[in-house]
Amino acid sequence: MEDSSHQTQLNVHQPTRTRRKGGLVTMPFIIANEAFEKVASYGLVPNMILYLMKDYKLGVAKGTNIIFFWSAATNFMPLLGAFLSDSYLGRFSTIAFASFSSFSGMLLLWLTAMIPAAKPPPCDLSSGNCKSPTPSQMSLLIFSFILISIGSGGIRPCSLAFGADQLDNKHNPKNQRVLESFFGWYYASASVSVLIAFTGIVYIQDHLGWKVGFGVPAILMILATLLFILASRLYVKRPPNKSLFTGLAQVVVAAYRNRHLSFPNEQDSRGSYHNKKDSQLLAPTQKLRFLNKGCITRNPEQDISPDGSARNPWRLCTIEQVEELKALIKVLPIWSTGIVMSINVSQSSFQLLQANSMNRHIGSSFQIPAGSFGMFTIIALALWVVLYDRVILPLASKIRGKPVKIAVKLRLGMGLFVSCMAMVISAMVESFRRRKAIHQGLAENSQAVVGMSAMWLVPQYVLHGLAEALTGIGQTEFFYSEFPKSISSIAGALFGLGMAVANLLASLIVSIVDDVTSKGGKESWVSDNINKGHYDYYYWLLALLSFLNVLYFLLCSWAYGPAVDELRNIRVADNGLMKEEAELSDVSKGLEEKDEDHKVNI
């Protein structure tokens, strides 16, 4: 009895061991959630124009505009999701809510295919009459798109950061290597997910119909949601903090509130500006000088707390905040040059109709789904990244005998030029396809297959992938290198924002082209009948805009001045030149000394 009592006392005093949260065990749940969401959402986009045209009786222009608006919302929502996550909800709650929203949207979309009353009835074959969708039917469809966009906006910006939270253990010396491994698996799973979406999901939609094609993404999304939430107890959940966007907004508000203040004397400005504790910055730069008023200290005793922070950050911000906003504003012109390239990449609806009207067979039995041709863009992008990092740069460095790297602004310009060439080739291929269709007597039948291989479309897809690898990745690298470390997280958000703006502008261009070219009873360039329309003229228009955009980039690049990597190369070159001059000077001195010795001997 005494032994039992003694053992009980030992158990009482022995501390209970609790499992440390986070770690590698959480990675499958986080990566699977992001991967399933990408497979589900990306798999819905390629064939959507066919669903809108055949089942909802919408024209090419209207259906394409709906897809453009949907894509714009999907690309813009990550900014809102990141803000809500950082400021109010936290990353776990944001991802959980977004996963449920994405599943709800896919479920509603699946119901539009399952319930006959959710969409217009089939056309009357005898009379040829087709009823348009009712407002309630269109509302259900649009609401499903909105829910899917909300889901993408919460999952995509938070998953990578949430995964890093689980591995961010400063006491672990292997922390950096584990993080690098996680980032690699994360991006690899994202690429594989998009490929599966463009091949597997599209193939299911083509061969098993919309009911199964929309049902599979919904099932994948509910699995992703359940897996993520069931592992809730394993996660490290950090509380929300002040958002970076809030800090930038404070600069604008503070500068406006202090607009009547006078600038302090430049020679005696020490202590006139508010900065962070132990900061090396004593005064802001003179560029965009009006923003400097946001950090002018009027009365240090009233404006600044004992701990050195501003009592009201919406009236007084730091020099660092001002410089962060200036850095962001400075890159906006170069950021805007990528919008036209994003417009070119987003023309998937027209390219799908092209592929659908061409021979897509490889061999006698296998046929590539029309919506799967986008995989050539992904493959080209991935191949360039591998070749550039593992073959091109090492080979060039070996030939020149020193490390070689293509300057980031040069890559941006190359990508924009390649994007222009992609649209030129698109216009030429479509012109040839249209002439062939008319020659074969298929002008009235847009559903007929032209005697021309769809593999003619592959070069333009490959060029789009190369352009995105050069300019898309280059822009993100450019932002990361030019921004202060404190706002480097905005780099990824800017690319998504550019895609959102591009989708809206693409919709505007299609609407204008459709309205202008269909006046007077003429056939629109973007007609529902691909053989009667002039998609080639539309592509030539985009090629012209792309060429003008290249010229605009050259102007922006010149106005921006040297980038960080160019300045680094200039310094290295200057150091090398100084070293050579020093060596020549030493040689000259040596010759002079020898000459003097020779004179003495004589």
**Can you list the positions of beta strands (E) in 67-178?**
none
What pLDDT score was predicted for residue 10? 47
What pLDDT score was predicted for residue 266? 67
Percent of the chain with pLDDT over 70: 84
The mean pLDDT of 420-441, rounded to a whole number, is 92
What pLDDT score was predicted for residue 339? 93
pLDDT at 448 over 70: yes
Q: Per residue in 525-539, pLDDT tens?
A: 988 888 888 999 999
Is 337-561 the same fold as 20-241? Answer: yes
CA 109 to chain centre: 25
Measured at the CA of 146, the angle between CA 203 and CA 66, to 5 degrees, comes to 65
Q: Looking at 46-60, 128-142, 474-488, which range is the least confident one?
A: 474-488
Q: What are phi and psi of 122, to 5 degrees?
A: -60, 155
Q: Per residue in 109-167, pLDDT tens?
A: 999 999 999 988 887 766 667 788 999 999 999 999 999 999 988 888 888 778 877 87
pLDDT band at 600 (very low <50, low <70, confident <90, very high): very low
pLDDT band at 2 (very low <50, low <70, confident <90, very high): very low
b/e map of 353-364 (b: 16 or more CB within 10 Å)? Answer: bbbbbbebeeee
In 3D space, the residue among 346, 388, 380 whose CA is nearest the CA of residue 501 turns out to be 346
What pLDDT score was predicted for residue 171? 46
pLDDT band at 580 (very low <50, low <70, confident <90, very high): very low
Contacts of 315 (CB under 8 A, 6+ apart): 253, 254, 257, 258, 303
Q: Per residue in 360-403, pLDDT tens?
A: 888 777 888 888 888 898 888 888 888 887 888 888 888 888 88
pLDDT at 601 over 80: no
What pLDDT score was predicted for residue 602? 39
Helix (H, G, I), strand (E, B) or coil at 362: strand
Query: Max alpha carbon distance in the chain (Å)?
Result: 119
Q: Looking at 185-189, 262-266, 440-444, 445-449, which range is the least confident one?
A: 185-189
Q: What is the dihedral of CA 52, 54, 60, 64, to 10 degrees?
A: 20
What pLDDT score was predicted for residue 169? 56
pLDDT at 566 over 60: yes
What pLDDT score was predicted for residue 183? 65
The mean pLDDT of 281-287, rounded to a whole number, is 80
Q: 0.85 exceeded by the pTM?
A: no
The mean pLDDT of 405-423, rounded to a whole number, is 91
Contacts of 353 (CB under 8 A, 6+ apart): 49, 60, 530, 535
Q: What are phi and psi of 310, to 5 degrees?
A: -75, 140
Residue 265: exposure state from Cβ atoms within 10 A (0-12, 13-18, ≥19): exposed
> Domain coordinates of the chain in residue numbers?
20-241, 244-329, 337-561, 564-602
CA 140 to chain centre: 28
In 3D space, the residue among 452, 475, 462 whose CA is nearest the CA of residue 553 turns out to be 475
Q: What are phi and psi of 453, to 5 degrees?
A: -70, 140
What pLDDT score was predicted for residue 148? 94
Measured from the Cβ of residue 470, the count of other Cβ atoms closer than 10 Å reads 26
pLDDT band at 587 (very low <50, low <70, confident <90, very high): very low
Rounded alpha-carbon distances, angstroms, from residue 82 to 91, 241, 330, 487: 9, 11, 23, 13
Is the domain covering 20-241 a CATH 1.20.120.1200 domain? no
> Homologous superfamily of 337-561 in CATH?
MFS general substrate transporter like domains (1.20.1250.20)
Q: Per residue in 97-108, pLDDT tens?
A: 999 999 999 999
pLDDT at 269 over 70: no
The mean pLDDT of 71-80, rounded to a whole number, is 89
CA 327 to chain centre: 20
pLDDT band at 597 (very low <50, low <70, confident <90, very high): low
pLDDT at 61 over 60: yes
pLDDT band at 72 (very low <50, low <70, confident <90, very high): very high
CA 434 to chain centre: 34
pLDDT at 417 over 50: yes
- Residue type, position 538, single letter: Y
Residues 140 and 588: their CA atoms lie apart, in Å, by: 84
> Over the chain, what is the mean pLDDT?
82
Q: Per residue in 534-559, pLDDT tens?
A: 999 999 999 999 999 999 999 999 99
The mean pLDDT of 80-90, rounded to a whole number, is 83
pLDDT band at 586 (very low <50, low <70, confident <90, very high): low
Give the 3-state DSSP-derived string for 398-453, with helices as H, strands as E and coil as C: HHHCCCCCCCHHHHHHHHHHHHHHHHHHHHHHHHHHHHHHHHCCCCCCCCCCEEEE
Position with higher pLDDT, 184 vs 460: 460
Residues 593 and 574: their CA atoms lie apart, in Å, by: 28
